[in-house]
Amino acid sequence: MKTQKILLSVLTILLVSSVVVNFYLFKSSDTIQDNILSTEKLFDLKFSPAQRDSMVDGIKGYLDKYKEIHKITLDNSVSPSFNFAPVPVSYQFDKEQKKIDWDLPKEVVMPERKEQLCFYSVAELSVLIKEKKITSLELTKLYIERLKKYDPELHCVITLLEERAINQAKKADEEISKGIYRGPLHGIPYGVKDLLALKGYPFTFGSKIYKNQIPEITSPVIQKLDEAGAVLVVKFSLGELAMDDTWFGGLTRNPWNTEKGSSGSSAGSASGTSAGLVAFSIGSETWGSIISPSTVCGVTGLRPTYGRVSRTGAMALSWTMDKIGPICRTAEDCALVFDAIKGKDGQDPNLVDLPFNYDPKKDIKSLRIGYVEDYFKEKYDFRTNDSLTLKTLREMGLNLIPIKLPEQIPSMAISIMLEAEAAAAFSDLTLTQKDTMMVLQKKGAWPNIFRQARFIPAVEYIQASRIRTQLIAEFMNVFKTVDVIVCPTWGGNQNLMTNLTGHPALLIPNGFGKDGLPTSITFLADWYNEADLLLVGSAYQKKAGFYQKHPDKFLP
């Protein structure tokens, strides 16, 4: 089963980020043979003296090649000459896009005070704008004022786009007044994680190293939202280079408890959406960066299938794992936003153009719903709320099918792929020692990970990729028996596994813990089946009602 197309040149690229025997180590040692012996211990290898002697000339040649490679400056936007395709070529999917009847509310009542609109869903706001009960300009000004008011406490704003947003809102109102209606996102204010490029504006990656970087392009995701008539008001914070919630402006705070961080790395997107500073936001995930902050901040996050949403004009961390997706109040809102941003852009070679046939009127009882039985039996923090989630799903008339996920595959071992790719994406920081300028300098932070990843052998990266192929095959078997899976958010290694396999995930708030902070449940689906995923998640969400809870401190 061919799931990954890897050109021969990938070996050279990987050797940049995975120096099998480090040049500086050899330079300071007596002989290359001695250093080969030392390096064997790092890589779990064993060679004879004669074998070591035979390698000397070849390794000297490698060192010369490494030095040549290090002379080339590679921008973060330059991708490797290979494409990751998790879905087997023979896999069959719907080919026809049907017209979506969103079944939006027939009538939405204006609140007593306009500021209460800040916690309305995109679906509700779209009805009010279409019916001209509120203008985009009024709504945009409302969110801008809240961004100014609350950012000093939340530290979630990197760039406020006030002038651009006001102009976009005026354009939206003018079009709507002339009967030109672009759809449910027309006139809706939103924010993006600051790893998406917006031509002419700072593009910081959350790092002071890139604080003054100004891109010459605009991300297709933002372009598609522009075409949908949405109004971009803010570029939100992210943990530096997409890790955690600390950036050059400080710690992004959790609206439910501002003494705590919002988690990351889509820190500002989740925090700002939770606090009612935008109607929705765009985040990204490589390994939990939508799921984790959405959980902590009590919002709804969709991690789409790998290859569903353009990453052109986005900071690269892992070419085979990065994904862009919406963070909203509801699953219904996630569906509206996802429909606008999905599809090809003419540049990202990993993108597919498949239908999204979301049908709010579809009977979810026709779907096979699985649950990861072993995970729910474990002792963990969310267990009580998760048990109530299963109870609610059964009360909805769903027959839950017990399943297992392939924990026998060593997914943590495969995660070296992420570290190797991240080290390559920011190789120049290691080589120039600019990594010392980064905020976090602990063992588990990027600077140290980038350095240690230089010692991941190219051979082991490829072996990990082959095991990843086996993991993908195991998940194919799982989804032969079910359509949607309900799973504890932090159950087992499911979050890592499904990020490696490229499957979509939907994070839904499902209550509060003893500390008063939100908890969550995760729904999973097969590749490109965001429609059923969002349908089931939305049905549960409307029944459970936790999306209607908002942090008291930020209520109008």
| 47-81 pLDDT per residue, tens | 898 898 888 888 888 888 889 999 999 999 999 98
Q: Active site includes 411?
A: no
Q: What is the pLDDT of residue 281?
A: 99
- The first and second tokens of residue 406, run together, are 């392939």
Q: Any residues with CB less than 8 A from the CB of 228 and at least 6 apart, and which? A: 182, 183, 185, 186, 340
> Average pLDDT, stretch 157-170?
98
What is the rounded distance in angstroms from the CA atom of residue 125 to the CA atom of residue 71? 53
Q: Count H helices, E strands: the chain?
A: 20, 17
The answer to whether the predicted template modeling score (pTM) of the entire model surpasses 0.85 is yes
Q: Which two tokens stand for residue 502?
A: 């490229």
Q: With bands split at pLDDT 50, 70 and 90, how would you rate the model's confidence at 32?
A: confident
Cα 297 to Cα 260: distance, rounded to the nearest angstrom: 11
Position 253 scores a pLDDT of 98
What per-residue confidence (pLDDT) applies to 92? 87
CB 351 within 8 A of CB 276: no
Q: Rounded to whole angstroms, how far apart are CA atoms 490 and 502? A: 17
- pLDDT above 60 for 240: yes
Q: Measured between alpha carbons, how far is 506 from 331 in angstroms, rounded to an integer?
A: 8
Average pLDDT for 266-280: 98
Token reading at 292: 């984790």
**Neighbour count for residue 249 (Cβ, 10 Å):** 18
pLDDT-based confidence at residue 546 (cuts at 50, 70, 90): very high
The residue-averaged pLDDT of 159-182 equals: 98
Q: CB count, 10 Å around CB of 286?
A: 21
Choice among 289, 292, 310, 318 that is catalytic: 289
Q: Which of 18, 136, 263, 265 is the catalytic position?
A: 265
Answer for the pair 239, 285: CB distance below 8 angstroms, yes or no. Answer: no
121, 126, 193, 342: the active-site residue = 193
Per the annotation, the verdict on 289 as an active-site residue is yes
Q: Provide mean pLDDT across the span 441-468.
A: 95
Does residue 184 carry a pLDDT above 70? yes
More confident site: 25 or 536: 536
3-state secondary structure of 82: strand
How does residue 33 score in pLDDT terms, banded at 50, 70 and 90? confident
Distance CA 262, CA 440 (A): 16
**Cα 449 to Cα 309, 440, 441, 443, distances in angstroms:** 28, 11, 10, 7
pLDDT at 15: 38
- Mean pLDDT, range 254-267, rounded to an integer: 98
The H or E element containing residue 400 is strand 400-403
Q: Is 237 a catalytic residue?
A: no
Alpha carbon dihedral 20, 25, 27, 28, in 10-degree steps, equals: -160
Which class for 532: exposed (0-12), middle (13-18), buried (19 or more C-beta within 10 A)?
A: buried
C-alpha 192/C-alpha 195 separation (Å) is: 8
Q: Region 278-298: what's the mean pLDDT?
A: 98
Residue in 244, 292, 303, 288 with CA at minimum distance from that of residue 270 = 292
362 pLDDT more than 90: yes
Higher pLDDT, 345 or 45: 345
Q: What is the mean pLDDT of the chain?
A: 93
With a pLDDT cut of 70, the percent of the chain lying above it is: 95
Looking at residue 83, its pLDDT comes to 87
